[in-house]
Structure formats: C-alpha cells, structure tokens
Structure 1
Amino acid sequence: MRHEILRSLLLVTCISLIYEPAKCQTTDKISDSDGNTYTIKLMPDGNQWMTQDLNVRVDSSWCFADDTANCKIYGRLYTYYSAAEACNTLGNGWHLPSRKDWEVLSDQYGGASNKSKDWGRAAYKALQTGGESGFHATLGGNRELTGGKYERLNAHGFYWTATEIDQKTAWNFNFGAGGKALHCQDGMGKGEGATVRCVRTIAKN
C-alpha cells in the first residue's frame, strides 16, 4: 500500500512539472563583447530571456541623458536597427524578440492591456523589477527622434520588438508607471531610442 502511494505521488509530481513550466525555471549567465554580464532565465513561455536590460555599445545607442550611470541601471537606449544588431552580437541564437514573443511571455502573467481583462496591470506587476516573474523590467524612458531629447525616465519603459509596422515604425511594449499597466503599442519611430531585452528560442521536443 505504501509503495502504491509513493508511485502515485511520483506520477503527480511528474505531471505537474510537465504542465506547470513556471516551476521548471532555471537561471544562467551570459556576457557581451564589452564584458557586461547578464542573468538569463528560462521563462514560463519556454524561452530564455535576459532579466536585465542590454548595455552593449553599438552605433546609434545611448545612455539616458548621456550619463553612463544610467546605463548601469537601465541599460542603453537603441534605435530599432541597432537593437537587432546589439542582440545579434551575443551570438548563439540570441535575437531581438518579436511582438509574438512578447505577447506569449506577457500572456503567462495575464497579458498586455489589449488582451487582458485588467488592462495589463497583472502583467505589469509581475514583469516589473521585484515582480514574481523575476524578469525585472525597468522604466528607462526613451530618446526622441527629433533633437535627441531624453524623456520619461522612471515613468515608462519602452521595449523594442522586431516586428515592423511599416518602413518608419515598429511595435513596442510599454510599461507605464502612471496606470501601472503593460501595453502593446504601435507607431514608435525606428530612429527613436528604446530599451532592449534579447531572447533565445528553445527548441520544443
């Protein structure tokens, strides 16, 4: 009887691990060409994500307000094209996440405002620094295309996606501190500066 109970418990444990990927999250490290080290994590969407903002130097990337201290906290701000280039420098399949990548990740925590019942508030809370996900998104602001003006530090965290809308704009995911909500937004000019996370797709068996 005791052996039967143990076998049953083992079966339940195995099934739980299969159907609850959040319990199987693992962490590791990766370094860029500047020697910066980032924690990476296997997230519930099944892919590896950086849990810190990218800070590798490439052309058309900046520290907020041109202050290197901000790069240490929020990473660098990249244009659409330099964002893709910067992720690619990590090699080994690391790339700029698509809109779909961001959607699938945020869906694990309730979804962005366009898909959720709570206007993206649960996803904002979970994916922000200190949230249950361990993703640690920040509010790094942005750099405007016109005049190179820096704005919205600690008010918004704009994260590039690789998904284009047209020749001039692309999708981004915006962590808005005012409403404490995560939004999937269109219309960000490709020459603007925004924050970057890189992702590595894990092959599904």
Structure 2
Amino acid sequence: MPKQTLSAYSSVAIGSQVWMDSNLQVTCYRNGDPIPQVENPRKWSNSTTGAMCQYEGEKGYSKNFGYLYNGHAVNDPRGLAPEGWRIPEDSDWQKLIDFLGGNDRAGGAMKHEGVKYWKRPNSGAKNSNGFSALPAGFRSLYGDFRHLGLYSYFWSSTSFNNNCTSIKVLGYFDSKVIHTGGPAESGYSVRCIKC
C-alpha cells in the first residue's frame, strides 16, 4: 500500500502560522489509498471521486509545481493532507493575507521572485516570507489545462457556494490575492497548513 511521505516538504513560519513552502505532491490519501492519476480529459471531466494529474501529463512538472488535485480529492474524508497538516480554510488564508498586508499586497509577498517560472512582469513579487508561490496553472472541469506561468490557484477547504469550493488566485500582473470559487471537477494546487 502506498504511503504519504513528508521528506519532500519543508515549512515556513509566517506570523503565527506554519505553511508548507511548496505545493503538495502526494499520490495517496493519508490512509494509504492511492489517488487515481487521470490524464484523459473526458475521464477527468466525468470524475465524481478524487483525482490528480500533472500539467498536460508532463512528468517533470510535479518536481517544481506539485500535482493538481480535483475538489473531490481535497474534500475526501480519507485525508489528502499528510499527518500533522491540513487543507487551509478561508479563515487560514485570510489570516495569512492580512499578515502580509491585505488583499491588494499579499500576493506579491507570496509569489516566487523573478521570471524563471512566472511570466513578465511578475509584478510586486518579493517572496518576503518564503511562501514561494509558483504559477502552476490549473486543469478545467472540461479536462484542458490553462495558465501555466501566469497564475497560482490554491484550494481552500471552505465551500464557496452550492457547486464550488473556495480558491485563492495570484497573477503575474499584480500583487493581489483574488478570492473566488472553483468546481470540484477542476484541478488546482494544494498548499497545506500545520495543524
């Protein structure tokens, strides 16, 4: 049975919180059950249970960007986050954002500096806290991939409305954090917070 490993994760203290400093890369739930890696667009779109993928199936993608997980995996009761960690709620994200200067400035503080991964101009990127957000893009509910190099999308565990779960978005063109919702069939990055 596969096991989750913590060896790939280091953490960073930001204010009173402790966050992983990279995106999640687990291939199984906390109990050892494997998470299906779904590459086929139609199977991804029709999935009603947890699934994960790499951007456009690129094998080296996860080394820098982690995996993209659908909302079913994020909310699975078997636990996507490794032992001692959890998927952040909106209140956790807001506490981080407030500590880093609010919605208009926190994105810059969270983004990895430079343009090795981010498209120019990567406005306001300072990575002043070690969060090191990278523009991993996302997988849509239709199974196609979008926005690699342009945006970071992070799941929250908080419901956004009847059909969506809350997500946080950082972009290459400003320092803002956008709060919106994503359907469970979409694939976004996961950044865990210490329990």
Asked whether the two chains share a fold, i.e. TM above 0.5, the reply is: yes
Q: Which residue of 1 aligns with 2:193?
A: 199
CA distance in 2: counterparts of 1:126 and 1:65, whole angstroms:
28
Moved over 6 A (4+): none
The aligned length equals: 158
Q: Which residue of 1 aligns with 2:178?
A: 183
Q: Deviations over 1:50-86 (max 9, x none)?
A: 0100011123001111112111111000111212458
Q: Which residue of 2 aligns with 1:126?
A: 109
CA distance in 2: counterparts of 1:43 and 1:189, whole angstroms:
29
CA distance in 2: counterparts of 1:123 and 1:167, whole angstroms:
28
Higher relative contact order structure (alpha carbons within 8 Å, sequence separation ≥ 6): 2
Q: Deviations over 1:116-156 (max 9, x none)?
A: xxxx2x2111111141111001110000111x101100111
Q: Which residue of 2 aligns with 1:163?
A: 158
Matches within 5 A, 1:37-76: 37-44=8-15, 46-57=16-27, 58-59=35-36, 60-76=51-67
CA contact (8 A) 1:64 1:70 kept: yes
Q: 3-state SS of the aligned residue for 2:109?
A: helix
Indicate the structure with greater helix content.
1
**Identity fraction in percent:** 22
CA distance in 1: counterparts of 2:93 and 2:6, whole angstroms:
27
Structure 1 counterpart of 2:18, one-letter code:
Q
Structure 1 counterpart of 2:165, one-letter code:
A
Structure-2 change in CA distance of 1:87 and 1:138 (3 Å): farther
1:200 Cα deviation from its structure 2 partner: 1.6
Segments of 5+ residues of structure 2 without an aligned counterpart are 28-34, 37-50, 114-126
CA contact (8 A) 2:5 2:82 kept: no
CA RMSD of aligned residues (A): 1.9
CA distance in 2: counterparts of 1:140 and 1:77, whole angstroms:
8
2:139 counterpart of 1:143 = yes
Q: Which has the larger radius of gyration?
A: 1
CA contact (8 A) 1:51 1:135 kept: yes
CA contact (8 A) 2:6 2:82 kept: no
Segments of 5+ residues of structure 1 without an aligned counterpart are 1-31, 113-119
